[in-house]
Amino acid sequence: MPVHLLPFEGSAPNGEKLAVNNLYFLKNGKPWLPVMGEIHYTRVPENDWEQAIRKMKAGGLSIIATYVFWNEHEIRQGVFDWTKRRNLREFIRLCQKNGVYVWLRIGPWCHGEQLNGGHPEWIHQMKGKRSNDPVYLKAAQGLFVEIGKQAKGLFFKDGGPVIGVQLENEYASGDPDHIHELKKIASRAGIQPVYWSITANTIFRDKELEVIPLQGSYPYRGWEKNGGKATKDFLYGNDQWIMSDALGRLYYDVSLFPRGLCEQGCGSQMTYANRFTVEPHIVEAHLQNQLGRGMNLIGYYMFHGGTQTPGLKEPGHPESYDFQSPVGEFGVVRPSYHNLKIIHHFLRDFGSDLAAMRVIEPKNPVRNELDSQSVRYVARENNNSGFVFFCNAQVRVSMPDKKVNLSVKLKDETIQFPPFLLKGQTSPILPFNLAAGGILIKYATAQPLARLENGNRTTLVFSALPGVEARFKLDSKTRNATQELILKPGESRLLQSINNNQLELVLLSGDQALQSWRVNKAGKELLLISSANLQENERGLEWRQVNNPLLKISVIPAGQISSIVNFPGFRVKSKNGFDEFSQVQPVIRHSIKHTGTGSNEVVFSTPGKLRLGISDWLVTLKYLGDSGVLYYKDSLISDHLNHGQEWKFYLKAMPPEKSLTIKIKGQENTPAGKTGQVTLFDVQPEYFFPVFFKKD
């Protein structure tokens, strides 16, 4: 396909440049595969914004997206509120402080399970809404002027983080000139991003290249019964085929724009009628499938959950907007966060290569989502190098193990992988002709995780596949190595190329890969492994883990981190090419008072100041019944729909030093009767371990 630049480019005062062509995005002239995730600032307490942003960044995101709901801000006609949790400018500023870009979704109509799709009531009653009716456009201009004021000086061209703006949402009918008019009045209002976007099921002037259409795709569909059935999203279908299936038709010439997502489902909103459990391996497989079929921008909806503003939720939905997101409503990190983080590491270090690779489908691609016997795979390739994607996972279908014999036929050679067992419910990525450190790896039966560049040494980190021997075939020009290496999890091997560069191969177990964290500081590229959760700030690294006072950190490569981080009070040792650090804190017992376990109502207290070494208290609640509702006095804080999973929340997110109440609503088949019953109320400390950067 011919490559042509699109009319979206920008330069920051520090010389950084962004652009895009019809195949992929560009950063400083190189292919860039960004990862974006959604959080709604108005649905998260403002005191929790910075920690939320840091969790999203540590999870591998480079862009944070957010809706700007009109009815959150124009509280009365002509009266706007941008204070407290509505302070958009402060939210953008915190994103800038923590080194992530921002993509604003400014509507004027948004949806997002917001009342009237985000329209104020007086707009909702307007006959000409969502059209070029002059009265509506004038009102929308008033909103855009206010947003322009909030974001003034914070656009990329000014050195700020705002690089993208989405207009409208799912505008599948009406006037195709409407998007043109919205962009015009937004530009006049001072809204000046690098990229303008819309959702893919929107009518617009595609030949004029005014906006970039971005797609949405959900493995779980909260708008369908029980979250939906098996979908075709796991079949590596070509882009047009998936859009025709999901959207009903194509809305634009797909050859004109890069393939990207603004709503990659990593959870879904439940309703009282539709309840389901999001499985981490399904979320991971769904993302991997998108990359295999050529997506070059990943944008999640939602990556961080929240709580509906009282009175502004769409009817029929709970107060909670948790979405079963990788980071939940009250900041609880879920297993899906770690599953996705594995692929985010891969995209961080191999995304520039992947973005420029074309999609190569097999001769007989699988087209039936209920076919559990055939092997589903696809490749992406450029200049005889690339990756093979396997998807042995399918929502609503249990997939059996499969024996795989893989040959990759290239222009001048055929690469034969050794036979291996593709386990059910997995979705691995395997490389071929992967160059690093002056050495060419012909194939590996392990998944690339990270590429760390430190001087003349490159460290390639792989994740072992379950039940598969990790074999690495090396180009014959490699010095001091047999043509094929076999590594076990936890092992490493140092190789030397003909130009005296060094390549270290490291193999991690699947569990170690899930516990891995990427850190770049002072020219050092590191992969850290710990069961604790990581947040990075300007002072250093903050580790948090629940109910475990022993922190263990392994660092790859060895001998690098001590030059940038102080480890007072830590035990240090080296093992198998890793540096290992550990620290033990005193065990802390909680004094959180609660009453009512075994009944339908629990009353509990929240702490005031946290003790030294504790960052929060995590509550885990189990109950029999239909739903639970959390109150402070008579004010509803949030709720929870019983879908078979525990209800978890942090106490720091609650009013301090207050007495809160949880009431369980019953149902006819509740064993405890119609009133429901709490079966477990457990409180555990979240231990806090700060590690400080050395001063420059």
Q: What is the pLDDT of residues 40-96, one digit of tens each?
A: 999 999 999 999 999 999 999 999 999 999 999 999 999 999 999 999 999 999 999
Q: Which CB contacts under 8 angstroms, 24+ apart, belong to 116-123?
A: 116/71, 117/169, 118/67, 118/69, 118/70, 118/71, 118/72, 119/70, 119/71, 120/70, 120/71, 120/74, 120/77, 121/71, 122/77, 123/70
Would the pLDDT of 479 be above 60?
A: no
Measured CA to CA, the distance from residue 473 to residue 469 in angstroms comes to 13
Tokens 């850290």 sit at which residue? 528
78: amino acid identity, one letter: G
Measured CA to CA, the distance from residue 593 to residue 590 in angstroms comes to 9
| Sign of the torsion angle spanned by Cα atoms 323, 427, 33, 505 | positive
182 vs 593: which has the higher pLDDT = 182
- What percent of the chain lies above the pLDDT cut of 90? 83
Measured CA to CA, the distance from residue 333 to residue 615 in angstroms comes to 14
Confidence band for 500, pLDDT divided at 50, 70 and 90 = confident
| 594-688 shares the fold of 10-354 | no
- Pairing mode of beta strands 101-107, 162-167: parallel
**Which pair of structure tokens corresponds to residue 169?**
């949402």
CA 514 to chain centre: 14
Secondary structure class of 70 (helix, strand, coil): helix
Contact 247, 197 (CB under 8 A): no
Task: Map 545-573 to HEC letters.
Answer: EECCCEEEEEEECCCCHHHCECCCCCEEE
For the ranges 148-152, 239-243, 598-602, 657-661, the lowest mean pLDDT is seen at 239-243
Would the pLDDT of 573 be above 90?
A: no
**Which pair of structure tokens corresponds to residue 575?**
């093992």
DSSP state of 230: -
Secondary structure class of 628 (helix, strand, coil): strand
Would the pLDDT of 496 be above 90?
A: no
DSSP state of 304: B
Secondary structure class of 145 (helix, strand, coil): helix
Query: Taking Cα atoms as reference points, which of 436, 487, 433 lies closest to residue 463?
Result: 487
Measured CA to CA, the distance from residue 566 to residue 682 in angstroms comes to 35
DSSP state of 21: B
Measured CA to CA, the distance from residue 122 to residue 392 in angstroms comes to 50
Would the pLDDT of 668 be above 80?
A: no
Helix (H) or strand (E) holding 265: strand 261-265
Contact 434, 385 (CB under 8 A): yes
Q: Which residues contact 364 (CB under 8 A, 6 or more apart)?
A: none
Measured CA to CA, the distance from residue 25 to residue 6 in angstroms comes to 10
Tokens 């998260």 sit at which residue? 44
Task: Map 344-413 to HEC letters.
Answer: HHHHHHHHHHHHCCEEECCCCCCCCCCCCCCCCEEEEEECCEEEEEECECECCECCCCEEECCEEECCCC
Q: What is the CA radius of gyration of the chain?
A: 25
Compute the half-sphere exposure of residue 34: CA atoms within 13 Å on the CB side of its CA: 27
Contact 623, 679 (CB under 8 A): yes
Measured CA to CA, the distance from residue 226 to residue 220 in angstroms comes to 9
Would the pLDDT of 480 be above 80?
A: no
Q: Supply the pLDDT for residue 461.
A: 98
Compute the half-sphere exposure of residue 77: CA atoms within 13 Å on the CB side of its CA: 9
Measured CA to CA, the distance from residue 318 to residue 329 in angstroms comes to 12
Q: Supply the pLDDT for residue 354.
A: 98
Task: Map 106-126 to HEC letters.
Answer: EECCCCCCEHHHHCCHHHHCC
Other CB atoms within 10 A of residue 155 CB: 24
- The torsion defined by the Cα of 243, 245, 251 and 252, in degrees rounded to 10, comes to 40
pLDDT tens, position by position, 359-409: 999 999 999 999 999 999 999 999 999 999 999 999 999 999 999 999 999
H helices present in 496-539, as ranges:
510-514
Secondary structure class of 521 (helix, strand, coil): strand
Q: Supply the pLDDT for residue 563.
A: 86
Secondary structure class of 466 (helix, strand, coil): coil
Secondary structure class of 588 (helix, strand, coil): coil
578: amino acid identity, one letter: F
Question: How many helices and strands, by DSSP H and E, does the chain display?
Answer: 10, 46
Mean pLDDT along residues 323-350: 98
DSSP state of 155: B
What is the residue extent of each domain of the chain? 10-354, 594-688
Confidence band for 238, pLDDT divided at 50, 70 and 90 = confident
Query: Taking Cα atoms as reference points, which of 514, 520, 342, 559 lies closest to residue 429?
Result: 342
pLDDT tens, position by position, 272-309: 888 999 999 999 999 999 999 999 999 999 999 999 99
Other CB atoms within 10 A of residue 149 CB: 14
Would the pLDDT of 261 be above 70?
A: yes
Q: Does domain 594-688 have CATH number 2.80.10?
A: no
Q: What is the pTM of this model?
A: 0.97
185 vs 695: which has the higher pLDDT = 185
Q: What is the mean pLDDT of the chain?
A: 94
C-alpha distances out from residue 32 to 12, 165, 406, Å: 17, 18, 29
- Structural domain 10-354, CATH architecture: Alpha-Beta Barrel (3.20)
Q: Supply the pLDDT for residue 591.
A: 80
627 beta partners: 641, 665
Confidence band for 241, pLDDT divided at 50, 70 and 90 = low
